Structure 1
Amino acid sequence: MIRFFRHYISSSALLQILGDACFFFCAVYVAPHLVGTHYFHVHDTEGLMARGFIFAAVMVSSMTAGGLYESWGWEGGLFGLLKRILLAISIGIVVMLFLFYAFPNLFIDHWVLAVSLVLSATIITTQRIVALYWMGLKKMRKNILVLGTSARAAKIEHLYHENDRQLAHRINIIGYLPYGNIAHHHVAIQRIIPLSEDLIALAEKYQAKEIVVAVRDRRGNLPMDELFRCRLKGIKVTEISAFFEREVGALQLDSVNTSWLLYSDGFQHGLIVKRMFDIFISLILLVLTLPLMLIAALLVALEGRGSIIYTQERVGLFGHPFTIYKFRSMRKDAEKTGQAVWASVNDTRITHFGAIMRKFRIDELPQIFNVLRGDMSFVGPRPERPSFVQEFNAEFPLYQHRHNLKPGITGWAQVCYPYGSSKQDTLEKLQYDLYYVKNHSIFLDIMILMKTVQTVLWGKGAR
């Protein structure tokens, strides 16, 4: 993992992005020679370079939107891979044609564009098939030993085997080393490696590149000399809370405390730059989606009684309430008792067109006006209702910290975790929200926007 603007990026994904960008860039250089077109001179290096950069940027963005740099992008094997590549190329073609129409100086001959796409698709598909083969052989994962068999160590095992496919693609948890006065191991006995040798010998024996310290009571109970010698040998030693932040993109609440949050890096927010970013993205999206919003408004009006725009009080920055705007997607009597009710799977209160809007996030488009008004940011924690916030503040001590930033239309928790419909889901999403509050940057916002496009295209997490 590589840390970039306080956010961790998979080194394999970064290499894929750089490699794909080079393929796309070179394709624009090679295509004119194959086509033989004289629309622009093949020796016009400066013109080709500019077009190559634009083509590479558009296509890499399309590949990102298609989920081809995510671990779930490998789901479905070869067929799923080809489907996502085809979708990414289709998106890229649409964007390139739009750019040609908006900026005629960027025009690339259609035959040159077609050959560039064929070359790129062939190379990238071949590279992905080879990568799929290597992933099957598990050649690229990093070996890790975990020191401790506590409940926190068991959390790593749970994520590794059940909840987080990305974790299993990046690392290989060799086993867990029992240490300290533990009456009961929370890790399966077959996953425990007896501590019969010192840490260096065990690390070298299993070719471990990192040791994660998951001992709960660390006051005088850690083998500090052995851990220090491991560091000197080039074996990384990581505290479990930092491990979760790096590998999962969330702050595990049972692994952090207030002092850790106080002294850790992060919490640096360029609010002026973020506000400019919000206005810029909102205006672009407003122009692009205005026809869609007009059609949605018409269909909402035709489907049933009630207002087209649904308003509701939500909690914003520093706990101040504001009115949020959405297209109405539920029946008028959805909360006839006056009590706030969780949305659920196959919720009967949702209208037929409302279900479609929720799946593709169309119902949230009016929130663009909330962003322009300054009530919301484009990216941030999901705004919740006052009754829920009051309940969560009392139950989860760190919940109030998610309001240190403006709420967003989309956010890190929304793209990393399915739609929440219970207190346990709220607790899980809080861990992602706190990660965003701690590590927020414009770079992370752009990543979240890319992941949001993936969510819309594949309909993940909607309810």
Structure 2
Amino acid sequence: MIRLFRHYVPVWFLLLGLAEFAIFIASMYLGEVVRASSIQDHPWQIDAKAWSGVLVFSVLMSFNMTIVGLYQRNLEEGRAGVLLRVAVSFLLALMEIGLIGFLFPDVLTWRRSFLVAFVLAFWGILAARYLFFRLMDEQTLRRRVLVIGTGQPAQELLGLAAQPGAGFQVVGCVGLPREVRVVPESLQVRLDGPLLDYVRMREIDEVVVAISDRREKLPMHELMDCKLSGTRVMEFPFFYEQETGKVILEHLYPSWFIYSDGFRHSALQSSLKRAFDLLASLALLSFIWPVMLFTSLAIWLETRGEGDVFFRQKRLGLGSKVFEVIKFRSMRMDAEADGVARWATANDNRVTTIGRFIRKTRIDELPQLWNVFKGEMSFVGPRPERPEFVETLSQRIPYYGERHRIRPGITGWAQVCYSYGASEEDAAEKLRYDLYYLKNHSIFLDFLIMLRTFEVVLLGRGAR
């Protein structure tokens, strides 16, 4: 696991991305060689213009692979989903290169080069992905982890190790005195000597302390021996965070928010983020106003001019301040005629025909660009919730109010990592992602979230 700008990136996916970028370069280069072989004696020596085509093709393909979610930790659809997403990324590239060739005919002129590159790259990517899955299935390539603890946290860690694509395997769990042991007995380790000797004998890469009661007496001297010998030693909440991209609520202490690494908001970073929000929202409003005008007209015709085409609703923002979020109306006027606030559900009968389409395509969110321009929201941040929901959730979910320490966003880490939620359990799960963003947020993470938002829109995930 590598930490880039405070965000944890699996080493395997980073290497996969670099390898696939090299495949795109090689494919386009060979495409140029095939084209040049019919018109010159030294086809391997391609000119600067041809190299520009190589660069455009490689960057576009890597960008597309990212926005369709091919570098995320876990794909719910499995390997069939990978094939579908690869196909979508190549289809997008065809449209993008066609558009670039139309707008800038002097930049991309040789169609045969791209045809050869597409064929070579497609089979090269499939081969790379097949090899990647085979390597990920190899236990010998996974990090070897020794767990200190045999209680509930250790059991949850075992659950992580059992997930497809996990980059580690649990070698064993060392129990502590007076601990309630819930892990399988086959994984419980009884040490006959120093902990360091066992770590060296079993070639342990990391030692994770996973205990539920901090009053348990830890073998501090032996853990220090392991750490000083080069073995990584960490607590379970930190390990869980780096492996999942979210925070575990059940095993946190209030002091964790104060003393853990992260939760740093510099004035420079805040200023850059606000400047981007201001300029980007203004540019997008200037560019997409025809889409917004057409959507307004469609809603007005569907509702026969009854009511406003815009929907305003009170939400809680930065510092728990109330503001009005603006969206295109997607539900009937009497959606909450009884005055009771409720979440949208799957196939909600309150959603209109036009509303279902604009929800699926996220067009209903476009008016929130005005909220971003005014400074009430940001492009990236936790989604703002209604005051009625926040009051209830804050009483039932620990640390829920902490999500209001940062400006809410149109999209967020929880939105690209988790599907739409309509229950307290969903709210708690999204909070895990929101706290991860609050702790580790950076310009790099914002950029990554915006890229992954394309996947949500393209594949229609999470809309109701």
C-alpha change, 1:59 and 1:283, in structure 2 (3 Å) is farther
Write the distance in 2 (CA, Å) between the matches of 1:150 and 1:344: 37
When the two structures are superposed, what TM-score results if normalisation uses the length of structure 2?
Answer: 0.89
Q: 1:332-384 CA distances to partner (integer Å, 9 max, x unpaired)?
A: 11111112112223322222332333233232122122212222101100011
C-alpha change, 1:187 and 1:301, in structure 2 (3 Å) is farther
Q: 1:293-349 CA distances to partner (integer Å, 9 max, x unpaired)?
A: 444334333433543221111111112221111122222111111121122233222
Unaligned runs of 5+ in 2: none
Write the distance in 2 (CA, Å) between the matches of 1:131 and 1:251: 27
Secondary structure in structure 2 of the residue aligned to 1:331: coil
- 2:271 counterpart residue number: 272
Counterparts of residues 121-136 of structure 1 (less than 5 Å): 121-136=122-137
User: For residue 273 of structure 2, what is the amino acid of its counterpart?
Assistant: K
Secondary structure in structure 2 of the residue aligned to 1:384: coil
2:172 to 167, 172, 175: 175
- 1:7 counterpart residue number: 7
1:232 to 228, 231, 236: 228
Write the distance in 2 (CA, Å) between the matches of 1:345 and 1:189: 42
Q: 1:127-149 CA distances to partner (integer Å, 9 max, x unpaired)?
A: 11222233344453222121112
C-alpha change, 1:282 and 1:175, in structure 2 (3 Å) is farther
Secondary structure in structure 2 of the residue aligned to 1:262: helix
Whether 1:64 and 2:76 are equivalent positions in the alignment is no
C-alpha change, 1:85 and 1:329, in structure 2 (3 Å) is same
- 1:341 counterpart residue number: 342
Unaligned runs of 5+ in 1: none
Secondary structure in structure 1 of the residue aligned to 2:100: helix
C-alpha change, 1:80 and 1:421, in structure 2 (3 Å) is closer
Counterparts of residues 139-288 of structure 1 (less than 5 Å): 139-161=140-162, 165=164, 168-182=165-179, 184-218=180-214, 221-269=217-265, 270-282=269-281, 285-286=284-285
User: For residue 243 of structure 1, what is the amino acid of its counterpart?
Assistant: F
Tell me, yes or no, if the aligned pair for 1:73 and 1:84 is still in contact at 8 Å: no
Write the distance in 1 (CA, Å) between the matches of 2:12 and 2:132: 10
- 1:47 counterpart residue number: 49
Whether 1:374 and 2:375 are equivalent positions in the alignment is yes
User: For residue 21 of structure 1, what is the amino acid of its counterpart?
Assistant: F
CA positional deviation for 1:160:
4.1
C-alpha change, 1:185 and 1:358, in structure 2 (3 Å) is farther
C-alpha change, 1:100 and 1:197, in structure 2 (3 Å) is farther
Secondary structure in structure 2 of the residue aligned to 1:106: coil
Write the distance in 2 (CA, Å) between the matches of 1:345 and 1:434: 26
User: For residue 169 of structure 2, what is the amino acid of its counterpart?
Assistant: N
CA positional deviation for 1:196:
4.5
Write the distance in 1 (CA, Å) between the matches of 2:290 and 2:112: 31
User: For residue 172 of structure 1, what is the amino acid of its counterpart?
Assistant: Q
Secondary structure in structure 1 of the residue aligned to 2:63: helix
Tell me, yes or no, if the aligned pair for 1:180 and 1:215 is still in contact at 8 Å: no
- 1:82 counterpart residue number: 83
Write the distance in 1 (CA, Å) between the matches of 2:319 and 2:397: 16
Counterparts of residues 105-116 of structure 1 (less than 5 Å): 106-116=107-117
Write the distance in 2 (CA, Å) between the matches of 1:74 and 1:313: 34
Tell me, yes or no, if the aligned pair for 2:177 and 2:216 is still in contact at 8 Å: no
CA positional deviation for 1:254:
2.8
Tell me, yes or no, if the aligned pair for 2:136 and 2:167 is still in contact at 8 Å: no
Write the distance in 2 (CA, Å) between the matches of 1:71 and 1:265: 23
C-alpha change, 1:240 and 1:112, in structure 2 (3 Å) is same
- 2:300 counterpart residue number: 301
Tell me, yes or no, if the aligned pair for 1:152 and 1:254 is still in contact at 8 Å: no
Write the distance in 1 (CA, Å) between the matches of 2:223 and 2:424: 38
Q: 1:250-307 CA distances to partner (integer Å, 9 max, x unpaired)?
A: 2222333232221223233311111233245445655665554444334333433543
Whether 1:29 and 2:29 are equivalent positions in the alignment is yes
Write the distance in 2 (CA, Å) between the matches of 1:417 and 1:289: 27
Write the distance in 2 (CA, Å) between the matches of 1:438 and 1:268: 7
Q: Which range is displaced more, 438-447 or 147-156?
A: 147-156
Tell me, yes or no, if the aligned pair for 1:150 and 1:185 is still in contact at 8 Å: yes
User: For residue 270 of structure 2, what is the amino acid of its counterpart?
Assistant: L
The percent identity for this pair of structures is 39
CA positional deviation for 1:9:
0.3
- 2:322 counterpart residue number: 321
Whether 1:18 and 2:35 are equivalent positions in the alignment is no
User: For residue 128 of structure 1, what is the amino acid of its counterpart?
Assistant: R
Write the distance in 2 (CA, Å) between the matches of 1:342 and 1:16: 39
When the two structures are superposed, what TM-score results if normalisation uses the length of structure 1?
Answer: 0.89
Q: 1:136-178 CA distances to partner (integer Å, 9 max, x unpaired)?
A: 44453222121112222233234444xx64xx53222233221
Secondary structure in structure 1 of the residue aligned to 2:312: strand
User: For residue 170 of structure 1, what is the amino acid of its counterpart?
Assistant: G
Write the distance in 1 (CA, Å) between the matches of 2:30 and 2:259: 52
Tell me, yes or no, if the aligned pair for 1:383 and 1:408 is still in contact at 8 Å: yes
C-alpha RMSD of the superposition: 2.7
Whether 1:424 and 2:425 are equivalent positions in the alignment is yes
CA positional deviation for 1:14:
0.5
Aligned residues: 456
Write the distance in 2 (CA, Å) between the matches of 1:355 and 1:157: 41
